[in-house]
Structures are given as structure tokens and as C-alpha cells.
Structure 1
Amino acid sequence: MKEGAMAQAKGKGRILVGVGIVVVVLCAAAFAFDRYALATTYARHEEPSVSLLPSYEMYERDYPRSDVQFELNGRVLRGHVYGQDNDRGLIIFRHGIFSQHEHYLPFITAMADKGWRVFAYDAIGCGDSDGDSALGMSQSPIDVAAAVDFARESGMAEGMRIGLWGHSWGGYGVAAALAKRPDDVSACVTMSGFDTPMKILDSSAASAYGLAGKAQWPFLWLNTAIDFGSDANLSASDAIVSSGVPTLVFHGTGDTTVPYEGVSILHALQQRDASLAQARISLTTLSQEGRCGHNDYFYGPESQAYLQECAADLEELLAQAGENPDDPAVRAYLEGVDLRRANTADPEIVATIDAFFGETLSQR
């Protein structure tokens, strides 16, 4: 009987070992899959050959700019200063992921018109900056902090206070960077930003893969922790509150890129018991239909309508041309589009941001 019991115990032991091996293999495979998926996702995105996005070519005559660059971990990040003779204050602008600062020129130039000096740069792996990869969601506040250091050390901000301003990935970056440079920044504007990298990664994985995506959370976390260490999952809402830096937060209730509920900075701040007004935190919830998404509130109603009309026409032309961007009809149509009109910053949003910076960056 003892021999039978021992045999039975050995059999169970083999089963447990087998199950353990399977679990380890599956976990290793999940980790490797996420490693590959993240590397592929963050790889440099090239500019589309057909686009209605703004570029400096549209603004060059009216908005001269100076070239600047700074280094971060052996890579050169390149940018420009707009309104270089303005002296109301220095605003450092950080763009969203898979983008570059020129895509935000309607806003940047509008703020230069208001008398602000705007330093806008391209993140690692984006636009004119070095790198084959944007590295990850956690990267944004790291390079924002480096940009603040550069602005101080180069004399760019001499005699002026510094404000931070960003959208999406950049919206997270400028807010989370307050934890790194609370004494160097006097104000922050964050638009459509996520509260933590893990919140947006979890949301994106669940959206793409359902329950299987939710199960990837431990492996996404491990990959992010390996790459960024203590900077892996900084909370933007925590940084805003703890820094005491006056902050203006925008987010749309219909945002499907950075979902409003459970993911956004604005929603995270709303869940807090502390008085946001006393902390000089202003929340702007956008809920108007057609103007409550990730970036559709950027443009005025007329500009937005014209942009949508052009996009529909271009889509039809491309379909007729077999998706050939070099088709003569497609090129001729693009040459006739008024891109400045299609990309005009919403005057109310500009006025709100201008008033906020005017109050917080004042030299009184």
C-alpha cells in the first residue's frame, strides 16, 4: 500500500511539474508577445504621403522660427522657438504619440500671436528628432523634464516663467513632469491626457483583444517596468495635486483614444476628495456632440466642417484612384485645398488657454 501511495504521489508530482512548466512557457510567451507588440507599436511612424495635416510650409512666411536641439540619453531632440521675441512667458509644447509638433501649428502660432514664446520639440523617434522608436508611454515626462532643463540652462526662458502644454501622450507628459520639476514650472495645460501609462495600455489592450487583452496586464507592466524603472507608471493626477502647480485640464466625454472614464487625467482628478479649486486645478469637460472626442474640439466649427468635407472628397478620390496617392486627380485636389482654413484653431479654446497662462505666468 505504501508503494501504491508513493507511486500516486509521484504521479501527482509529475502532473504539477508538467502544469508548472506549461504555465512558465505560457507566461514567457505572453511576455515575449508583449515585448514584440510594444516594440512594433512604438516604432517610428512615417508621414503619410496624402495628408490634410498642417506643416510649417503653410506658416513659414508669417511665423519665422529659430532651431534648437538638446540631448537626452545620447539622442538629439530637435525643435523650434516660435514668437522668439515675445516675452509674456515661455510655453513648452509637447505633442501626442505617432505625431510631431508641426501637426499642432494652428495652436502654436495662435499662442505666438497672443505674445507667448513657444518652444515646441519633437519627441524621441518622432518628427525631426533622433530615434527609431518613441520608446513607450512612460517616456513623455522624462523628455519634458529634459526640455524644461534645456529651456532654463540655454537662457531661452530668461526673465520669464515657464508653462507646460501638451496633448494626449504629451498631455500626460506635461502633467506627470510636474512631479519631476515642480519648482521650475508655473502653470500647466493638459489636453486629452491619460492618468498613467498602465491605464492607457490596459485600456488599449482590452479594446484590441477583449478579455485576452485584459490578461496581458501583468506582462505589459513587467515590460514597462523593465524599460523605465521608477518612471514606469507615474500618475499625472498625483503630480498635479502634489506639485501645487496651477493646471488646466481638458477632456472629451466621447474620447475613444483616451477614454474619459477610468483612464483620463480629468476623471482621476474628479475622483479625489480634495478641493480642486483650492489647489488651482481647473477641469473642462467637453460634451458637445462632434466636439467631445480626442482632438475634434481643436478646430472652430467652420474649420472643422471644411476639414470633414475635404477628408470625404479625398477619400472618394483615393478610392477611384485605387488608393494611389500619386494619382494626378488626387494631387490636383490636394493643391487646391486651403490647409490653413482646414486647420484653424478654435478661438474659444485659444482664448481659454491664453487667459489661463496670462493669469498664472504673470510677472506680478
Structure 2
Amino acid sequence: MKNKKFNIKLFLSVLVCLILIIIGGWWAFCVKLYNDNINIRSDSYEPLMLHVEDFEGLQCSEYTFPSDKGQNLAGYLYSYGEEQHGIVVLAHGFGGGGHNSYMDCADFFARNGYYVFAYDATAMDKSEGDRLGGVPQGVIDLDYAISFVEANDDIPELPIVLFGHSWGGYCVSAVLTYHPEVKAVIECCGFDRSSDMFESAGKDQAGSIIYAMTPFIRIHEMIKFGKYATNTAMDGFDVTDAKVMIVHSADDDVIGIEYGCDKYYEKYKDDSRFTFMRFENRGHNDILYDQTNTYFDEFSAEFDKWLEMLDYDYKAEDNKLKFKEDKAKYINENLDREKLSHRLDENLFGQFLDFYEHAII
């Protein structure tokens, strides 16, 4: 009896199919993680929101302008009087709602002679959208925001400079590809490629596996956002004469310094357009604040004591609504809004101001 001949073509076909199934499954898994963490709607937590009234004399005019898919974004023009000599367009970070938590930054620049145009990105706070879509949407929204400022007759034609932190730091850099006319950029804790946000933030949870996810995230973003996904911060730097300040801390545990400052320093350290401000122990979210101001830490410690004194299990599903109401009541009754809204490192922001002043001369 003869043995059946081994069918190499069938074997290879089955093998290819298995490989494609594995790759497709991994791709789908990566995209799901991305969507669960980034393609979301994000709104500010109301009890901790800042208000114009927290800053004496600050004026705010609200606008609405469309972004790429027709979704209307909420815009805010901050000022003190009518003696401004430039416009700061402010791009906020990711995960805490829209621009609200950066209102103290807007107040500082407005107090010192600038109009400040801030906005809520897609699917955040007062802006439309069920979900963000992905990291590159931030660059798209900023592109539209700058164009809106430039075309709006209510806003004087003045030199435009950009300020962004974290996700906003990436956006103000990459958007230069589409707005090389911008005079200066201050990028705090940003990154070079859109996929860097997912990779850096996911390292602690996924370990080295994150590097096997990143290529699929890049493909996903490229398919969804086209040129906005492939355009990097350094692409933006290279097509403009804008002055650029890079601010980052070595202990940043959200966006590693190797994704931004260190990479940029390697390429631009001898370029007179660039100014680097590298810290060692200012973290990510606290980098803009006065390091001697401990108010929020003190408030958090008191809040933890309050948690321990609760006479019910606040983690239980049945108590979710009650805890939400009690927590909001505690914050509203105990938070010192004056202290909360005045924590900026004004010495650091004074250096930011000097940088802008020299750039727009």
C-alpha cells in the first residue's frame, strides 16, 4: 500500500491562514485596547472645575467653530482689557476633559498682554462628538482652531504663538506642518509620534508587549486619519522658522522623556531656534505648578481621612450614586477655590513669557 503524498501547497495554505488569523486577532485586540483607552468621550469633573470667576478681572468670550467632520467645538477667548500684543492658542492634555484645567495658564498669559484662545477638543466638555476617534484628532482640531482664529474678525490680527501640555504638546508641534506662520511654540511633556501616547502610557501595564502593539496602532491611526497620523512633531519643526521651547521632566511617568525632549535634543541641540528646559523631578501633571505649593496634596490627604470615616462601603455597586453625591458635596464644601486656581509656578511661566516676547519682536 502506497503512502499518501504530503501536500505542501495545502500545508502552506493552512499555515498562511493560521498566521493571518493570529495577526488579525492581535490587531483587533490592539485596536480594542486603543479604543477603550483613547477613543472615548472625556468630560471635566464638575466639582474640581475652574471658573472665570476664580480669576479676578479675567474676561472670556465663547465661540463655536467646526472641525473636520462638521462637529462643533467650543472655543474661549480670554483677555484682560484691550492692550494685547499677541495671541496664545492653547492645546490641552488628554484624560481630564477639555481646556478647563488649564484655565490658570490662560489667565497668566492674558494677565501679561496676550489674548488666549483655548478650546475643548472633539468629544470633550462642551464640544460635540460621542468619541474622540484617536490621538491625531487633536492635531486636526488645533489646525481648525488656528484657522478659526486667523479668519475671525472679532479677534485682532496679531502674532500667534502656541502652548501645549502632554497630548497638547504633541499637537502644537505637529500642527506646524499646516501652520508654519506660527511664531513660537512651547511644548511641555509632549511626544513626537501620535502612537507614542499609547505606547508610553501603556508601558507600566503591558511591559515590553507594548512594542508588539505599537505597529498595529500606527496602521490603525494611519487608516483612520491619513496624513495627520503620519505627520510627526519633528516634521512640524522642520517646515517652520518658529522658535521652539521644549519642557520635560526626567521622571515623567506618563510620557517618557525619551519620547520627546531627549529625542528632540539629539537632533536640535545646536539649532538656535530651540530652547530646552529639562527637569529631573517635576513629574508630568505637576510640571507647571509651584513645587512648594502643597495645597492639593493637603486637600487630598484630608479627603482620604474623610473616606475612612464613611459609615458605608463606598466601593459597593449599590452605594455608587450615594458616594458620587457625597463626594461632590464634600469637595464643594471644603475646597479652597482660591488656592486651587493659583498654583502655577509663576517663575517658570515668566520664562515662558520672555520666550514669547523675544519670538514675536
TM-score by length of 2: 0.88
**Do residues 153 (structure 1) and 151 (structure 2) align?**
yes
**Do residues 298 (structure 1) and 257 (structure 2) align?**
no
Instruction: Report the Cα distance in structure 2 between the residues aligned to 1:119 and 1:38, rounded to whole angstroms.
Output: 30
Identity across matched positions, percent: 23
Question: Contact 1:172–1:236 at 8 Å: present in 2 too?
Answer: yes
Unaligned runs of 5+ in 2: 315-322
Instruction: Report the Cα distance in structure 2 between the residues aligned to 1:43 and 1:315, rounded to whole angstroms.
Output: 28
Match in the other structure for 1:284: 277
What SS does structure 2 have at the residue aligned with 1:182?
coil
Deviation digits for residues 111-154 of structure 1, max 9, x if unmatched?
A: 11112110110000111101111221112222111111111111
Structure 1 residue 92: deviation in Å? Answer: 0.6
Give the direction of change, closer, same or farther, for the CA distance of 1:270–1:117 in structure 2 (3 Å limit): same
Match in the other structure for 1:26: 22
Match of 1:313 among 286, 293, 302: 302
Instruction: Report the Cα distance in structure 2 between the residues aligned to 1:332 and 1:124, rounded to whole angstroms.
Output: 31
Structure 1 residue 188: deviation in Å? Answer: 1.0
Instruction: Report the Cα distance in structure 2 between the residues aligned to 1:70 and 1:259, rounded to whole angstroms.
Output: 33
The one-letter amino acid of 1:115's match is G
Deviation digits for residues 152-202 of structure 1, max 9, x if unmatched?
A: 11135433111111111111101111111102x111111111111123333
Give the direction of change, closer, same or farther, for the CA distance of 1:240–1:340 in structure 2 (3 Å limit): farther
Matched residue pairs, number?
346
Question: Contact 2:174–2:234 at 8 Å: present in 1 too?
Answer: yes
**Do residues 196 (structure 1) and 193 (structure 2) align?**
yes
Instruction: Report the Cα distance in structure 2 between the residues aligned to 1:159 and 1:273, rounded to whole angstroms.
Output: 31
What SS does structure 1 have at the residue aligned with 2:195?
helix
Structure 1 residue 273: deviation in Å? Answer: 6.0
Structure 1 residue 342: deviation in Å? Answer: 2.8
What SS does structure 2 have at the residue aligned with 1:189?
strand
Structure 1 residue 54: deviation in Å? Answer: 4.1
**Do residues 272 (structure 1) and 267 (structure 2) align?**
yes
Question: Contact 2:55–2:107 at 8 Å: present in 1 too?
Answer: no
Instruction: Report the Cα distance in structure 2 between the residues aligned to 1:122 and 1:310, rounded to whole angstroms.
Output: 27
TM-score by length of 1: 0.88
**Do residues 211 (structure 1) and 212 (structure 2) align?**
no
What SS does structure 2 have at the residue aligned with 1:137?
coil
- What root-mean-square deviation, in Å, do the aligned CA atoms of Structure 1 and Structure 2 show? 2.2
Match of 1:168 among 161, 166, 169: 166
Question: Contact 1:86–1:112 at 8 Å: present in 2 too?
Answer: no
Unaligned runs of 5+ in 1: none
Question: Contact 1:34–1:223 at 8 Å: present in 2 too?
Answer: no
Map 1:121-270 to 2 at 5 A: 121-183=119-181, 185-261=182-258, 263-264=259-260, 266-270=261-265
Match in the other structure for 1:95: 92
